[in-house]
Amino acid sequence: MIYIENKIVHRDLRADNILLTDMQCCKIADFGLAEINLAGSHRISSDIKVPVKWMAPEIFEDKAYTSKSDVWSFGILLTEIVTYGDDPYPGMEKMSCVRSIQRGERMERPAGCPEALYDIMLLCWRSNPEERPTFTELREKLMALIHEPDSELE
């Protein structure tokens, strides 16, 4: 995502769209909703099916996607990884999820998720897109977490 974040807004970053190679390398797939990032933000027409539970709150307001919307989705992707592919916002219907996000509520820490990793997820889910980290910053935080001597990550 670091490579594409200044060039493309993916708009559908989730576990279903990540491929894993034999060498355990993740590849981002399904660029069907992607847009070339020329102006900074993009709108999506209302007749396109979108992954609501992965969408940032600003998208519900004005349907504007930016690389910071992809950062939000990355936070949701982290929950999918920790839960071995469970759907985000377990037990919630799509519209309940939308209302919850708009009220500023965030998904609870998944069972077995290290608190330090959940803190990174919460950074991704900040209401103000400008307060969310870049993918470069996320990589730095995740690498630091992996290399912590007492890290709970396996």
Q: Identify which of 71, 60, 52 has the alpha carbon closest to the alpha carbon of residue 10.
A: 71
Q: Identify which of 66, 61, 58, 60 has the alpha carbon closest to the alpha carbon of residue 13.
A: 66
Q: Identify which of 136, 151, 121 has the alpha carbon closest to the alpha carbon of residue 67.
A: 136
Average pLDDT, the chain: 82
Q: Identify which of 113, 88, 69 has the alpha carbon closest to the alpha carbon of residue 15.
A: 88
Q: Identify which of 48, 108, 132, 79 has the alpha carbon closest to the alpha carbon of residue 100.
A: 108
Residues annotated catalytic, as ranges: 12
Burial 4-34, CB ≥16 within 10 A → b, else e: bbeebbbbbbbbebeeeeeeeeeebeeeebb
Going by pLDDT thresholds of 50, 70 and 90, the confidence category of residue 42 is very low
The 10s digit of each residue's pLDDT in 50-96 is 678 888 899 888 777 888 999 999 999 999 999 999 999 999 998 99
The 10s digit of each residue's pLDDT in 87-120 is 999 999 989 999 999 999 999 999 999 999 999 9
> For the chain, which residues make up each domain, given as ranges?
8-147
Q: Identify which of 83, 87, 81, 78 has the alpha carbon closest to the alpha carbon of residue 138.
A: 78
Tell me the pTM: 0.80
Q: Identify which of 66, 4, 72 has the alpha carbon closest to the alpha carbon of residue 39.
A: 66
What CATH code would you report for 8-147? 1.10.510.10
Cα–Cα distance, 63 to 96 (Å, whole number): 18
